Amino acid sequence: MTRIFILLITVTVLSISIGCNKSTSPSPPAVSTIILADLITNGASVMWIGAHPDDETALAGVLLAKASLELNNSCHLISFTAGKYGGCHPNSLQNGTCPCPDSNYCPDTMAVARSKEFSDMAQFIGAECRVLNWDDAFLNGQVQYFEQAVDTVIKLIRSIKPSIVITHASNGGYGKQDHIYVNQIVRKAYQTLPLAERPDYLYYAIHILPDGIDTEQVTDSIDGRAYSIKLARTYWESVIDASRFYQTQGLDLQAQSITDTYHWNGFYLAGSH
């Protein structure tokens, strides 16, 4: 029987206010199991399934820097929506990168802009990407969309055949409803697939908050401060480089603001069968 591990990836929160006071940088915890790092090093293919463009960089950026940018593993990034209802970051309004000409709200134009940011970031790290262009409204948990969304994920997994699937945590990381809904969709798709067609591993990406770990004890981690000889920089510096493609959301400023606090991906082994 295929061994299935469901792990929770605890990752950096990129939503801490810019200009916050610097604090002593915590070290990744001592870990008792090393699973994901070995899988990535041995060439495992990765599929990220998220709610919006930029979620993958904010929630799994260190992992993607190692898997795709450094090791050239096959990586596919899927975003259910184009994030059309997201507003522009204040810095985007100030520097002219906000695509909305007269205000901070232009859904159709924003969808085009964020989709391009997603594509440009994926090209930078050497990954394939796809925006499914579902309307953000489906993420409100409307039942009529759920089974259709599950079927979409099943078809993607069957087509791409990844070794590892990563998605949002069951609590959305910080209670965000659209993240929670995507988690439910991906988990149902995974459970619906016959064992022979399931990816070997399913991971949930969760947050590390300034006051500690979101849910469970970390059992595995990838330190973003580690230096990559091939990349000639640390993995976290690569995350900042990737985040610069998301100007509408100011992701680069948010990433830089937490460089001295949390900048590593950790993993929680929730179970296996």
Q: What is the pLDDT of residue 91?
A: 82
Q: What is the pLDDT of residue 214?
A: 53
What is the DSSP secondary-structure string of 56-119? HHHHHHHHHIIIIIIT---EEEEEEE--TTPPPPHHHHHHT--S-SSSS--HHHHHHHHHHHHH
Q: What is the pLDDT of residue 90?
A: 83
Q: Give the domains, in start order, of the chain with CATH numbers.
A: 5-272 (3.40.50.10320)
Distance (Å, whole) CA 232 – CA 206? 28
Q: What is the pLDDT of residue 1?
A: 45
Choose from 180-184, 223-227, 264-268 the range with maximum mean pLDDT. Answer: 180-184
Average pLDDT over residues 142-149: 80
Question: pLDDT digit string (tens) for 204-238?
Answer: 887 655 555 455 556 667 778 889 999 999 998 99
Q: What is the pLDDT of residue 140?
A: 59
Which one-letter amino acid corresponds to residue 96? G
Q: What is the pLDDT of residue 15?
A: 35
Least confident range of 67-71, 127-131, 142-146, 260-264: 260-264
223, 26 Cβ separation under 8 angstroms: no
Average pLDDT over residues 96-116: 86
Question: pLDDT digit string (tens) for 243-253?
Answer: 999 998 887 77
pLDDT at 37 over 70: yes
Average pLDDT over residues 140-150: 77
Average pLDDT over residues 170-175: 75
Average pLDDT over residues 10-30: 42
